[in-house]
Chains A and B, each alone.
Chain A
Amino acid sequence: MSTTLRKGGRRSPAGHPDAPPRARRRWSAQKLFDDKLLPLLLVAPAVVVIAGLVGYPVIRTAVLSFTDAAGLSALTGGEINFVGLAQYREIIGDPILRRSAIVTVVFGLACVAGTMLVGIAVALLLNRKFHGRGVLAVLVLLPWAIPHVAASYVYKWLFNDQYGILNWALTQLPGVDFTGFAWFNRWYTAFIVIGLVVIWQSFPFVSIALLAGLQTVPSEVIDAAKVDGASAWQQLLLIRLPMLKPLLLVLVVISTIWNFKIFDQVWVLTEGGPARQSEILAISVYREAILQLDFGLGSALAMVLFTILILFTVVYVRMAREEQP
């Protein structure tokens, strides 16, 4: 078998004058190789990568979440006990971790909503005709292109309590004094800044994708609506957005996936502080598993985040299904 295969394989150069036309040799070794073995060979590395680098770790995390693996000894196969749901019970019982899980959902949803609102608004703006529209469409992409860590440092500087330009600008407003206001000392103002960075970085993708979608809405439909006296709002809510519903749904899913697993921005801006109050699940996993070496608890936290994302995705996919009769 192997020899015939190799013979077939060597026959590869195209256009050999004496080579019989490939199409007629239906059952040759070459044909067998092409149809049966080659596809498998081509896919094999991907299967290895996905199974080994994704499948195995996910299962390992799931298993670890039911154990008490902790400390460096656990890494070298030290004593690890199966503890059932104890880690999950600890998450529910621990006010900081419970809060982290809730905050992840609430803050994640807020970021998705903000991203979609800003994204849709900017897309509608860019869909109008005005001078400099093309330039703005490209410039608006910049925030998306900036690495999260770098963007976070810029915002940290913009919101600096002493020399941040935002405090200065707010103080210029009549009757407002933000001099020395420390944004990162309160969890809610810290979340405002984090949310702003997240939205700033994720709205361009939504806008550009939607802009492409908006331009596929046939202008006849809009013209017809105008003749019928539909206001701009009616055109938008009754015609444009419904036609783009599938695309909007996809964008919501993508921003959910992106915004729920943020880590970089929170780490750079607050490291989860003050007093772990701006901690989200990704930060909790890092803190418990990598800094405290509590792998069991960290894994359980990771699985909670995993479950949240799966739940949201399933809901969206259901919604998408119902859209298509």
Chain B
Amino acid sequence: MTTTERPARRDRVRMMTSAQARRRRVTASVFTYLAAGLVALFALFPVYWMVITSLKPTAEIITPQPVWWPSEFEWGRYQRVMDAGFTTYLRNSLLVAVGTTGLGLLVAIFAGYALARFRLPLRRYLVLVVLATQMFPVVVLLIPFFIVMRNLGLLGSLWGLIIAYLAFITPLMIWILRGFFLSIPNELEDAALIDGCTRFGAMWRVIMPLAGPGVAAVSIFAWIAAWNEFLFALTFIRSDSLRTLPVGLTQFAGRDATDNGAIMAASVMFTLPVVIFFLFVHKKLTTGLVAGAVKG
């Protein structure tokens, strides 16, 4: 098409025959599906490869020609990984995650509520500080924590980890919960107060049940963060019997560097609980994080 016979854009659109329009629609949808396929491949192939490798017979893992589907499933590897100390790591991770979530909730529910409802002195600054904690790297905390915990004898204990995790998990919990409390109308408490509730009673009995979904989301957020944390766990825990899963996994991989099937099986077991939780609450986590950041 030369420039001279090129009509104005608007006319061109109108001039399109129905056949042309259909061809265009078909091309567009072909490209859409192609792109969707590529995205799916990019996002999912590593996951697929992790799971399938963990289930292949060893001979089919180390082949120059990849084996896409195992000739038979080897489930025994999971049992072996469990026996190789994985159960201990699992227990430690559970303890730390539950401890962090519980203590964090206790602090964050109260603070989130207070920051949403009361005129506190320095409230603006407190809210800012809570946000600011998200902006610095946790490595900054690593050295002082290491020194203090060593001096307190907490280096070899899961309590040390819980305390360290609270440092960076609680502020975000406060922030997200504050958002949830802000979204609950004030009138509900006022009504409860007029009915003779104390302020605390109103919060505990009227507002908390309504904040249930928010509390659940924030708990899972804290749980996942503690479950995945690696740097502090690597630094603070020295004995094998107290390692959490992320560090346990690296130890395990170091010991069995050749057994990639087992490393993948351990990775799957480490990942599974997070993925399950995650798929239930991802919407709340995303909106919570973004809403918090936008409002700030």
Contacts and interface: CB of A to CB of B under 8 A. Distances in A.
Indicate, yes or no, whether A interacts with B: yes
Nearest to A260: B137
B229 to A, nearest CB: 9
A261 B137 CA distance: 6
A147 B250 CA distance: 13
Contacts of B264: 153-154, 157
B139 A46 contact: no
Interface string A290-313: 100001001100110110011001
Interface string B158-175: 000001101110110010
Given A43-B111, A147-B270, A205-B286, A38 B200 contact: yes
Given A76-B151, A139-B44, A295-B147, A46 B200 contact: no
Interface in B43-61: 43-44, 46-47, 49-50, 53, 61
Main secondary structure of the interface of A (DSSP, over half): helix
Q: What is the interface residue range for chain B against chain A? A: 35 or more
A170 interface: no
B39 A264 contact: no
B153 to A, nearest CB: 12
Contact of B275 (A9, A13, A57, A145): A145
Contacts, number: 299
Interface in B170-186: 170-171, 174
Contacts of A235: none
Contacts of B62: 162-163
Most A CB contacts (10 A, CB to CB) among B111, B140, B167, B270 go to B140
Nearest to B231: A263
Interface in B181-219: 192-201, 205
A50 B174 CA distance: 11
Contacts of B47: 142-143, 146, 154
A12 B231 contact: no
A130 B64 CA distance: 37
Interface string B242-274: 000110011001000000100110011011001
Given A149-B267, A209-B289, A289-B146, 11 more contacts: A13-B201, A42-B118, A50-B171, A145-B282, A147-B228, A147-B245, A149-B230, A153-B263, A168-B66, A205-B289, A282-B139
11 contacts: A14-B195, A42-B111, A57-B167, A148-B228, A151-B46, A153-B249, A157-B50, A168-B64, A212-B286, A261-B137, A302-B137
